[in-house]
Amino acid sequence: MKRFFPWIVLVLVLISLAASCRMPKGAPGSFDFPKFGKIPVLEEGRLKPLDTVARNALVILRGRQTVRLEEGRTLPAIQWLADVAFNVPGADQYPTFAINNPEVLGLFGWQQGERKYFSYAELEPFFGKIDTEGQQAAGIDSAQRSPYQTAIYNLRNGLIVYQRLKHSLWPEGTQEFASEVKAYEKLLPIGREAMKKGGQEPASGDLALFKKFTEGYQMLAEASSIQPVPPVDAAARRNGDWVSLGTSLSQALKNGTVHPLVKAYAEMGEAYRAGKADLFNKEVDAIAASMAVQEPVAAGRASFEFLFNHIAPFYQSMQLYVLVFLLVCGSWLGWSNSLGRSAVYVTLVALALHTFGLAARMYLQGRPPVTNLYSSAVFIGWGTVIIGLFLERIFRDGIGLACASVIGFITLIIAHHLAGSGDTLEMLRAVLDTNIWLATHVVSITIGYSAMFLAGMLAMFYVLRGVLTRSLTRDAAQSLARMTYGVLCFATLFSFVGTVLGGIWADQSWGRFWGWDPKENGALLIVLWCAIILHARWGGYIRQRGLMVLAIFGNVITSFSWFGVNMLGVGLHSYGFMDKAFPWLMVFVASQLGLIALAAVPPARWRSPLGN
Amino acid sequence: MWHRLLDAVSSLKLTIVCLTAALVLVFAGTLAQVHFGTHVVQERYFQSLFIWWPAESRIRIPVFPGGHLLGAVLVLNLLAAHLRRFRLSLRNLGMHLIHGGLILMLAGGLFTDLLSVESQMQLVPGETKNYSEDGRLTELVIVDQRSSDADRVVSIPEARLRKAGSVELNGFPFRVVIQHYYENSELRMLSNAGPGAVPVADHGVGAQIAVKELPRVTAVDGRDVKSVVIQLLPVGTDQGTASLGTWLVSEGLGGPQTFSYAGGPWRLEMRAVRYYKPYSVTLQKFTHERYPGTEIPKNFASQITLDDPGHAVHRDALIYMNHPLRYAGETYYQSGFGQDDKSSIFQVVHNPSFIAPYVACAIISFGMLIQFCQHFVGFTRKTPSPRAK
């Protein structure tokens, strides 16, 4: 049994993975949401499947990727999007908006109670208030906003996101979009004629109808956040100028015909509203087929991104890291060999998923792995797991895996919370638009963070084990110290090289090798701290315990460099959405200081007999 | 005695003390940026020998070593350590390279602080300039426009204005008495300035303007509005007898003012310090692309023509994000745009020691690699593996 146990664990893990990755197959006669979700559209400057649009919007509005209706039913994101974008009656009553701030609730005269989510229809009477208050908050620097101002600002933004989706695929108030588009196309010659005359004459009959249509489409063009129609002419194709349904309908006036895709969307929406699944699926198939021919690259990427969303590799590997940690802890209690081996196997599976996720993001974005704070968190976890596996290979005592799994788990949780601002594959601002520096500077710095956190984690193990248990023998302590030292050297190398590469990038793009920007200073702090630790050790000023204390403080410095400087709101590297993280950072710093205090307990009083 | 001093200077303890002080300095400096902005912090914390408290006062005490002092002590410490403690050997090669590179890098940093000049050039399409402007320093300019052939210009730098007193202008028929200098100011028309407001000058537009002194701007992208009130006195006369009048000269006025004296027009202006070049730059075209359907900038690019008759250079160049133009010891970076996308702004950098960090980095990285490999080989060899036993 013991011999086969690791293999059994591995097979069970793989089976459960395969089960959760299986594509849901719609029952015959139901709406084919997966295929609808794969349709590529342009949003926020990036081509993505509708599924991603839906998930990102929901994450912004309510912090999760599904909507739980009051009657207990759960709507997947894509179905919610279809309901909202096709203006299905009742969609405005879904509890879509998360509001937690009591002052915001008070603004509407509501008490904070059991309900956390509210519907668009419920908020409608307060749009005026939300707009004035939100606009006022928008005028304040994000670092200076009070929690109330942040909440009202976010609510106003959320309402804008919602309204834009609502005006993306269906003109408001229209009942039969498809027949309307047909009528509009027939009227095009009349409209063109009127345009030539300057459009001054009083409109009546057909022309009045035509004008009514164009006004509605104008609204659709201005408000829409989704651009589903691929470019027609060569110039637009070069710029990747996809357009909204409304814009395409306005362009029809020039071309004389309505783009077939617009007709297909109109038919699809009408079928969806009428509950005709067969008709809906037929139009979805038609759109998918035409995309596959006209925009094969976009269609391919969109359907891959759909798969990526569905598998949710980071979520899966997060769960596996918990399992790894449990297995390692088990191996310390007994059955060490087989549980230890099981932990290695599960780590490998988790790492494979983690790697797949990183590689998929790189493929989708066409960029090196780290482009924003979210991806830095994902990458730090990934780097730590690799170094941890490496340590495990050398030392074979489970410590490397335990540390790696804890950091892997925590960084993925952090990443999950950083994703709340919407698309994590956002387009890069001009100044960041250089793959060479993203691939070298940013990656080195992030590997440096990984190693710093791993060293800190190893030191935490040392202290906790030494003070609280009897298990830290002299050999164990020595091997932990060696690991920590080795990882710190590694961290020094990468942090230094990364910092310097950053300087070179800055010199290349601003003519300033070093500008004392807070993020640069943060990187420098890590390098200085590493130098201090290494020199203090070489000089014999610190020994094992001292090394551990300094390594733990390295966690504080690294977290300041990674997160803290972004909260200062100064300089070129600061980004928003950090207000929620501040208390957590303080908790983390306090916990590290607590551990340092624990390490300061004289060794004679540790439960492990280190001194003797 | 001498030996003990040398021991102290070359000791590892001093290294650690310096590194720790540097850590504290960088941390404090980073936090201080929230209140004082990057430029002020840079001057007070990093490009100084000491941090003074209070920062701007005649009586002040040094509270912490500044960046220049720490850098200098570290360099000394490194040099002394290598002279006394390290033996030149292949085994120590990594260490020698790392420390040698570090010395070069610190020295390069000092030279950059002392020698580099950063300025900006803002151009609208079709415009030609042969000068760039300082982002922060200003000067008072007095122009003699009496001759139709050429203007005669004198400029009085900010530092001189700050000292007040009288300034003789070589060859000009009058001298300047600085009455009041404002580091940052707000100008208001007397009619809007409220009751009790008085004009600060009796000639020019200043006669209708009240000036309010403001604290200096700390934001990275902010700029002080510098103003000065001056009196002009004919050469060889005393105050009170023959004053030509007082003028308010300010960046807030939006343009120069003129007056007549000694048979012709003169011009007064407060403006950014200019750095003239022996060549000129013409902006042909500026583009600012955004990602379709968004406001996220995708690229800025400027098509320019470089004209240097002295070196028979006349060529076109494209400057865009991360792709600067290097010419005649200066580097032009696309830094941004102004006036609603109509004008292009370049950062112009003159830094003779820009190569030092590159060389230093290469040396240090190489040294670290050697050092790391040596350790790594030892690390994998010596390590016991409990389960393998």
Of B30, B118, B299, the CB nearest to A565: B30
Of B292, B347, B365, the CB nearest to A242: B292
| B331 reaches A (C-beta below 8 A) | yes
Of B23, B29, B357, the CB nearest to A528: B23
Cβ of A507 and B354 within 8 Å?
Answer: yes
With beta carbons less than 8 A apart as the criterion, state whether A318 and A357 touch.
no
Cβ of B19 and A535 within 8 Å?
Answer: yes
Q: Does residue A307 lie in a domain region?
A: no
- Which residue, among A304, A193, A299, A209, has the nearest Cα to A253 in the 3D structure? A193
What is the C-alpha separation between B381 and B375, in angstroms, rounded? 10
* Contacts (Cβ under 8 Å, ≥6 apart) of A200: none
φ/ψ (deg, to 5) at B274 = -105, 145
* Contacts (Cβ under 8 Å, ≥6 apart) of A28: none
With beta carbons less than 8 A apart as the criterion, state whether A160 and A152 touch.
no
Burial zone of A289 (CB within 10 Å; 0-12 exposed, 13-18 middle, 19+ buried)? exposed
**DSSP secondary structure letter of residue A49:** E
Q: Are residues A193 and A278 in the same domain?
A: yes
Cβ of B296 and A42 within 8 Å?
Answer: no
Of B23, B321, B361, the CB nearest to A433: B321
Residue B37: closest C-alpha in chain A: A570
Sign of the four-CA dihedral B355, B358, B361, B362: negative
Which of B14, B15, B19 has the highest number of chain A CBs within 10 A, making it the mutation to test binding with A? B19
Cβ of B23 and A475 within 8 Å?
Answer: no
Q: How many domains does chain A have?
A: 4
Q: Are residues A218 and A198 in the same domain?
A: yes
Which of A516, A517, A538, A557 has the highest number of chain B CBs within 10 A, making it the mutation to test binding with B? A516
The residue type found at A364 is L
Instruction: Look at residue B389 and tell me whether its pLDDT is greater than 50.
Output: no
- Which residue, among A302, A307, A296, A267, has the nearest Cα to A284 in the 3D structure? A267
Q: How many CB pairs under 8 A join A and B?
A: 174
Which of B74, B98, B132, B322 has the highest number of chain A CBs within 10 A, making it the mutation to test binding with A? B322
pLDDT averaged over chain B? 86
Report the residue count for chain B. 389
With beta carbons less than 8 A apart as the criterion, state whether A110 and A537 touch.
no
Sign of the four-CA dihedral A358, A364, A366, A372: negative
Which of B30, B358, B359, B379 has the highest number of chain A CBs within 10 A, making it the mutation to test binding with A? B30
Model ipTM value:
0.86
With beta carbons less than 8 A apart as the criterion, state whether B125 and B259 touch.
no
CA distances in angstroms from A422 to A60, A65, A577, listed in the order given: 6, 11, 11
Predicted model pTM: 0.88
What is the C-alpha separation between B217 and A471, in angstroms, rounded? 59
Q: Are residues A607 and A466 in the same domain?
A: yes
Of A397, A503, A528, the CB nearest to B19: A528
Distance to chain A for B201, nearest Cα, Å: 37
* Contacts (Cβ under 8 Å, ≥6 apart) of A586: none
Q: Are residues A146 and A204 in the same domain?
A: no
Q: Are residues A255 and A328 in the same domain?
A: no
Q: Are residues A534 and A601 in the same domain?
A: yes
Distance to chain B for A212, nearest Cα, Å: 25
- pLDDT band of B387, cuts 50, 70, 90: very low
Q: Does residue A435 lie in a domain region?
A: no
What is the C-alpha separation between A493 and B371, in angstroms, rounded? 10
Q: Are residues A181 and A152 in the same domain?
A: no
Cβ of B368 and A524 within 8 Å?
Answer: no
Write out chain A residues lying below 8 Å of B383, CB-based: 394-395, 479, 482
Q: Are residues A570 and A471 in the same domain?
A: yes
The residue type found at B320 is Y
The token pair at A466 is 């030494």
Which of A243, A521, A550 has the highest number of chain B CBs within 10 A, making it the mutation to test binding with B? A521
Residue A436: closest C-alpha in chain B: B322
Distance to chain B for A238, nearest Cα, Å: 11
What is the C-alpha separation between A134 and A149, in angstroms, rounded? 7
Cβ of B292 and A510 within 8 Å?
Answer: no
What's the pLDDT tens digit per position in B304-352? 999 999 999 999 999 988 888 999 889 999 888 887 788 999 999 998 8
Distance to chain B for A512, nearest Cα, Å: 8
Cβ of B12 and A539 within 8 Å?
Answer: yes
Write out chain B residues lying below 8 Å of A477, CB-based: none
Sign of the four-CA dihedral A258, A261, A266, A270: positive
Of B112, B292, B384, the CB nearest to A241: B292
Residue A227: closest C-alpha in chain B: B293
Which of B291, B335, B344, B349 has the highest number of chain A CBs within 10 A, making it the mutation to test binding with A? B291
Write out chain A residues lying below 8 Å of B369, CB-based: 493
CA distances in angstroms from A560 to A494, A598, B41, listed in the order given: 18, 22, 19
Q: Does residue A87 lie in a domain region?
A: yes
The token pair at A480 is 């932990």
Cβ of A513 and B112 within 8 Å?
Answer: yes
At A612 the pLDDT is 45
| B42 reaches A (C-beta below 8 A) | yes
Residue A221: closest C-alpha in chain B: B293
Distance to chain B for A516, nearest Cα, Å: 7
Cβ of A571 and B386 within 8 Å?
Answer: no
Q: Which of A427, A449, A483 is the last residue of a domain?
A: A427
Write out chain A residues lying below 8 Å of B26, CB-based: 521, 524-525, 528
With a CB-CB cutoff of 8 Å, which residues 277-316 of chain B face chain A? 290-294, 296-300
Q: Are residues A407 and A445 in the same domain?
A: no
Of A42, A396, A521, the CB nearest to B292: A42
- Which residue, among A351, A559, A393, has the nearest Cα to A486 in the 3D structure? A393
| B81 reaches A (C-beta below 8 A) | no
Q: Which of A107, A133, A166 is the last residue of a domain?
A: A166
CA atoms within 13 A on the CB side of B232: 21
Of A427, A486, A568, the CB nearest to B294: A427
CA atoms within 13 A on the CB side of B96: 11
Residue B353: closest C-alpha in chain A: A513
With beta carbons less than 8 A apart as the criterion, state whether B123 and B283 touch.
yes
What is the C-alpha separation between A61 and B316, in angstroms, rounded? 50
| B362 reaches A (C-beta below 8 A) | no
Q: Which of A403, A427, A451 is the last residue of a domain?
A: A427
Q: Does residue A172 lie in a domain region?
A: no
- Which residue, among A191, A11, A451, A226, has the nearest Cα to B372 in the 3D structure? A451
Q: What angle do CA B263, B266, B270 make, to 5 degrees?
A: 170
CA distances in angstroms from B36 to A571, A574, B56, listed in the order given: 12, 17, 13
For residue A112, the SS3 value is coil
Of B12, B29, B383, the CB nearest to A394: B383
What is the residue whose two structure tokens read 């106003």? A156
Helix (H), strand (E) at residue A229: none
Q: Are residues A462 and A609 in the same domain?
A: yes
Distance to chain B for A312, nearest Cα, Å: 27
For residue A70, the SS3 value is coil
Q: Are residues A286 and A345 in the same domain?
A: no
Q: Using N-to-C axis directions, what is the helix angle for A177-196 and A205-223, rounded to 10°? A: 110
Instruction: Look at residue B291 and tell me whether its pLDDT is greater than 60.
Output: yes
With beta carbons less than 8 A apart as the criterion, state whether A371 and A365 touch.
yes
Q: Are residues A193 and A244 in the same domain?
A: yes
Cβ of A496 and B364 within 8 Å?
Answer: yes
Instruction: Look at residue B388 and tell me whether its pLDDT is greater than 50.
Output: no
With beta carbons less than 8 A apart as the criterion, state whether B182 and B161 touch.
no
> pLDDT averaged over consecutive 10-residue blocks of chain A (612 residues)?
86 91 77 94 92 94 88 90 93 92 90 87 93 89 80 92 93 88 89 74 76 86 91 82 91 87 94 93 94 92 94 94 95 87 95 96 91 92 96 90 95 89 80 80 94 96 92 89 92 92 86 86 96 94 94 96 79 54 89 96 86 50
Write out chain A residues lying below 8 Å of B92, CB-based: none
CA distances in angstroms from B173 to B147, B233, B249, B266, listed in the order given: 14, 9, 19, 11
For residue A119, the SS3 value is coil
At B386 the pLDDT is 47
What is the C-alpha separation between A544 and A528, in angstroms, rounded? 20
Cβ of B321 and A522 within 8 Å?
Answer: no
Distance to chain B for A34, nearest Cα, Å: 26
Burial A567-596 (b: 16+ CB within 10 A, else e): bbbbbebbeebbeebeeebeebbeebeebb
SS3 sequence of chain B: CHHHHHHHHHCHHHHHHHHHHHHHHHHHHHHHHHHHHHHHHHHHHHCCCEEEECCCCCCCEEEEECHHHHHHHHHHHHHHHHHHCCCCCHHHHHHHHHHHHHHHHHHHHHHHHHHCEEEEEEECCCCEEEEEEEEEEEEEEEEECCCCCCCEEEEEEHHHHHHCEEECCCCCCEEEEEEEEECCEEEEEHHHCCCCCCCCCCECHHHHEEEEECCCCCCCCCCCCCEEEEEEEECCCCCCCCCCEEEEEEHHHCCCEEEECCCCEEEEEEEEEEEEEEEEEEEEEEEEEECCCCCCEEEEEEEEEEEEHHHCEEEEEEEECCECEEECCEEEEEEEEECCCCEEEEEEEECCCCHHHHHHHHHHHHHHHHHHHHHHHHHHHHCCCHHHC
Write out chain A residues lying below 8 Å of B109, CB-based: 513-514
Task: Count CB atoms within 10 A of the CB of residue A49.
Answer: 26
Domain range enclosing A1? 1-30+312-427
**Domain residue ranges of chain B, discontinuous segments joined by +:** 2-116+354-388, 117-129+276-350, 135-273
